[in-house]
């Protein structure tokens, strides 16, 4: 491997680690991040902007996305639970996570029926099903019908819209 390639890989790895740490630090300062609270939450964009990291805010409130293979959790092999990065709502279990080869964390089903909601997304000249947090309405990603059995669904999520807690 060339020195330039190794250096570039190290920079990408360190950037990802620092981004994950920054995301977790911002979540601890977020008074709306409550994994045990299932009540709906409606905040203004200004309120969200104060407590979410810029990348998380862009994805969850402005419906942005991260480039493939750049967000956290796409290759996370650990067992545990994925929560909404904005409000802490229970979203997915690692038991339903699979490698879709798309560059984003993918799951074949939400944790339960109250975890996520869906809305039509006709942006970019496509018709897709947007997936949002059922508690705060934050944009998580999209769901497609090309996933594995038993559901044949692929919940393609933005890693920065998720917070992972490893099973102990």
pLDDT digit string, tens, across residues 115-157: 999 999 998 888 999 999 999 999 999 999 999 999 999 999 9
6 pLDDT exceeds 50? Answer: no
The pLDDT score that the predictor gives to residue 28 is 55
Where b means 16+ CB within 10 Å and e means fewer, 116-129 reads beeeebeeeeeebe
Q: Which CATH class is domain 3-166?
A: mainly beta
Q: Where are the chain's structural domains?
A: 3-166
- Catalytic residue, from 84, 87, 136, 156: name it: 156
| 12-29 per-position pLDDT tens digit | 443 444 444 434 434 458
| Sign of the four-CA dihedral 42, 92, 71, 26 | positive
Strand order in the sheet with 80-84: 90-93, 80-84, 162-166
Q: Average pLDDT, whole number, for the chain?
A: 87
**What mean pLDDT is predicted for residues 83-110?**
97
Give the distance, in angstroms, between the CA of residue 81 and the centroid of all CA atoms in the same chain: 12
pLDDT for the residue numbered 31: 87
Q: Is 156 a catalytic residue?
A: yes
CA distance linking residue 94 with residue 44, whole number of Å: 31
> Residue 107: beta bridge partners?
97, 155
In this predicted structure, what is the pLDDT of residue 2? 52
pTM of the model: 0.82
């Amino acid at each position: 491997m060339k020195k330039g390639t190794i250096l570039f890989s190290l920079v990408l790895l360190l950037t990802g680690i620092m981004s994950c740490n920054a995301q977790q630090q911002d979540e601890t300062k977020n008074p709306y991040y409550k994994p045990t609270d299932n009540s709906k939450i409606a905040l203004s964009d200004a309120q969200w902007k104060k407590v979410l990291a810029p990348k998380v805010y862009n994805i969850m409130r402005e419906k942005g996305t991260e480039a493939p293979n750049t967000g956290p959790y796409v290759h996370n092999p650990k067992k545990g639970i994925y929560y909404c990065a904005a409000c802490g709502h229970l979203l997915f279990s690692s038991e339903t996570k699979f490698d879709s080869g798309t560059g984003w964390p993918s799951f074949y089903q939400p944790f339960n029926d109250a975890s996520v909601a869906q809305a039509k997304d006709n942006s970019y000249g496509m018709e897709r099903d947007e997936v949002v947090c059922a508690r705060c309405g934050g944009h998580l990603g999209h769901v497609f019908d090309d996933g594995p059995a038993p559901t044949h669904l692929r919940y393609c999520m933005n890693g920065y819209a998720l917070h992972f807690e490893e099973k102990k």
